[in-house]
């Protein structure tokens, strides 16, 4: 239990944060640091497990590599935040309550929804039953166990986006006896400059990954995947990385969501239908001048910080400011000893500059490890977490000006 629990009054404003990923942790630490001298605010974080899931390293965990043990309660230590372990099974947005493990009701005054996204296995028949995913640590462990027993079998990675690229490279490097096939509608690195894209292709070729672009998986079978047009590709294991969707809790609660189940927000990251609910990270459909943000860690943590700032401003009787964010890079690991970093404009279109090789590896590792010192700094200096690329003209949409 936290130092704050039991010290607040009956009229304390209850802020409940669902999810302790990169965005949820940023929101919790930032808000707790800004309200730690106030007895009328209580912050509670709800998460299904105590261990923090490093989503940016799940492709490593899927090949049996041991990751650092990071506990959510330890990361929250010193903030006065209460941690509740349990599965969120329902949200009642009208009654302002959250149901945990079907046997506990947690009331809130302000809710921060940071439950993230899951692999969209429902989009293709058989994917949910026969494919592995990287939705969390347990999913990665299941795949690692399968790969360890696979031997000379074939692994099909469905989806040629960044997760698919990193996973295919990691599997091929750690299990060179296996045959790895990467399937996707687009070429790997399609959004990169020709130089960066060529580097990705060369790295995958060096690792023995067979790449097939311009194909679409329409069915996953126990021992194969079926492509549009009728062709089958044999598979002893299938990793599904093609598309994500939000969990159905938000839609079931009556919150306004988009076609992917993400909560539609206003400029301050509040639900457009329920302003006492803030949505951040992969769970939110956040519109900027260039369109709706896509889920990445570089955008997730800033949304968490901004939600905390917005809540703090509202509690102080002030109007929250609009959220503005511009992308600045796309780091992609290609096994443990290689990587490429594509620098981008704020709208995520590629710049000419890119890093490759060992320099890119060091850059990628610095980015991957950056949340921990950032959280530590925010505990002592909350303002240190409020700096991120705002994107200038790319993010101006007219709202809030």
Measured CA distances, 350 to 163, 190, 204, 347 (Å): 18, 10, 21, 9
CB 314 within 8 A of CB 308: no
Model pTM above 0.85: yes
Question: Same domain, yes or no, for 110 and 17?
Answer: yes
pLDDT band, residue 10 (cuts 50/70/90): low
pLDDT band, residue 397 (cuts 50/70/90): low
Residue 376's φ and ψ, nearest 5 degrees, are -60, -40
Q: What DSSP line would sit under 79-94, residue for residue?
A: TT-EEEES-EEEEETT
CB 118 within 8 A of CB 127: no
Confirm whether 196 is domain-assigned: yes
Q: What DSSP line would sit under 348-386, residue for residue?
A: SPEEEEEEEHHHHHHHHHHHHHTHHHHHHHHHH-GGGGS
Residue at a domain's end among 323, 350, 369: 323
What does the alpha-carbon distance between residue 354 and residue 339 come to, in Å, rounded to a whole number?
11
pLDDT at 396: 74
Confirm whether 37 is domain-assigned: yes
pLDDT at 39: 86
Residue 215 sits in which domain range?
Answer: 121-240
Question: Same domain, yes or no, for 211 and 287?
Answer: no
State percent of the chain over pLDDT 70.
Answer: 96
CB 345 within 8 A of CB 395: no
Confirm whether 389 is domain-assigned: no
Answer yes or no: is pLDDT of 2 > 80. Answer: no
Confirm whether 369 is domain-assigned: no
For 85-117, the pLDDT digits (tens) are 999 999 999 999 999 998 999 999 999 999 998
Question: Same domain, yes or no, for 283 and 263?
Answer: yes
pLDDT band, residue 6 (cuts 50/70/90): very low
Burial class from Cβ neighbours inside 10 Å (0-12, 13-18, 19+) for residue 94 reads exposed
Answer yes or no: is pLDDT of 3 > 80. Answer: no
For 38-56, the pLDDT digits (tens) are 889 999 999 999 999 999 9
How many domains, in total, are found in the chain? Answer: 2
Question: Same domain, yes or no, for 192 and 263?
Answer: no
Question: Same domain, yes or no, for 127 and 236?
Answer: yes
pLDDT at 278: 98
Question: Same domain, yes or no, for 220 and 144?
Answer: yes
pLDDT at 400: 40
32: left (phi over 0), alpha (psi -120 to 50) or beta: alpha
Ranking 120-124, 325-329, 349-353 by mean pLDDT, the lowest is 120-124
pLDDT at 295: 76
For 200-249, the pLDDT digits (tens) are 999 999 999 999 999 999 999 999 999 999 999 999 999 999 988 888 99
Residue at a domain's end among 323, 348, 373: 323
Confirm whether 387 is domain-assigned: no
pLDDT band, residue 4 (cuts 50/70/90): very low
Confirm whether 363 is domain-assigned: no
pLDDT at 321: 95
Confirm whether 342 is domain-assigned: no
Measured CA distances, 214 to 147, 195, 220, 230, 259 (Å): 26, 20, 17, 14, 24
Residue at a domain's end among 240, 263, 282: 240
pLDDT at 107: 98
- Average pLDDT in the chain: 93
């Amino acid at each position: 239990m936290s130092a704050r629990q039991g010290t607040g009054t009956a009229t304390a404003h209850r802020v409940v944060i669902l999810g302790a990923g990169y965005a949820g942790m940023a929101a919790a630490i930032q808000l707790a640091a800004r309200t730690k001298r106030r007895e009328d605010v209580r912050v509670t974080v709800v998460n299904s497990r105590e261990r923090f899931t490093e989503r940016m390293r799940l492709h490593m965990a899927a090949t049996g590599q041991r990751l650092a043990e990071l506990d959510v309660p330890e990361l929250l230590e010193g903030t006065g935040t209460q941690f509740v372990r349990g599965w969120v099974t329902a949200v009642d947005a009208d009654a302002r309550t959250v149901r945990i493990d079907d046997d506990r009701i947690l009331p809130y005054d302000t809710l921060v929804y940071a439950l993230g996204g899951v692999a969209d296995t429902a989009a293709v028949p058989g994917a949910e039953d026969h494919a592995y995913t990287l939705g969390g640590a347990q999913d990665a462990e299941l795949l690692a166990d399968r790969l360890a027993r696979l031997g000379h079998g074939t692994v099909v990675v469905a989806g040629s986006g960044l997760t698919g690229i990193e996973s295919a490279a990691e599997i091929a490097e750690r299990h060179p006896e296996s045959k790895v096939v990467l399937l996707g509608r687009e070429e790997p690195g399609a959004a990169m400059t020709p130089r960066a894209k060529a580097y990705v292709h060369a790295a995958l070729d060096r690792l023995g990954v067979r790449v097939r672009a311009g194909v679409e998986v329409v069915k996953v079978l126990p021992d194969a995947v079926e492509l549009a047009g009728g062709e089958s590709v044999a598979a002893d294991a299938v990793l599904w990385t093609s598309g994500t969707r939000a969990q159905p809790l938000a839609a079931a609660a009556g919150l306004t969501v988009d076609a992917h189940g993400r909560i539609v927000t206003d400029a301050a990251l509040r639900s457009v239908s329920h302003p006492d609910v803030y949505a951040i990270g992969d769970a939110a459909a956040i519109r900027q001048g260039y369109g709706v943000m896509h889920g990445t860690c570089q955008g997730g943590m800033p949304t968490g910080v901004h939600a905390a700032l917005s809540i703090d401003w509202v509690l102080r009787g002030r109007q929250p400011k609009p959220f503005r964010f511009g992308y600045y890079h796309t780091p992609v690991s290609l096994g443990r000893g290689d990587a490429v970093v594509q620098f981008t404009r704020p709208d995520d279109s590629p710049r000419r500059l890119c890093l490759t090789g060992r320099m890119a590896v060091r850059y990628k590792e610095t980015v991957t490890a950056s949340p921990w010192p950032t959280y530590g700094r925010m505990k002592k200096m909350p303002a240190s977490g409020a700096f991120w690329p705002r994107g200038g003209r790319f993010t101006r949409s007219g709202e809030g000006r």
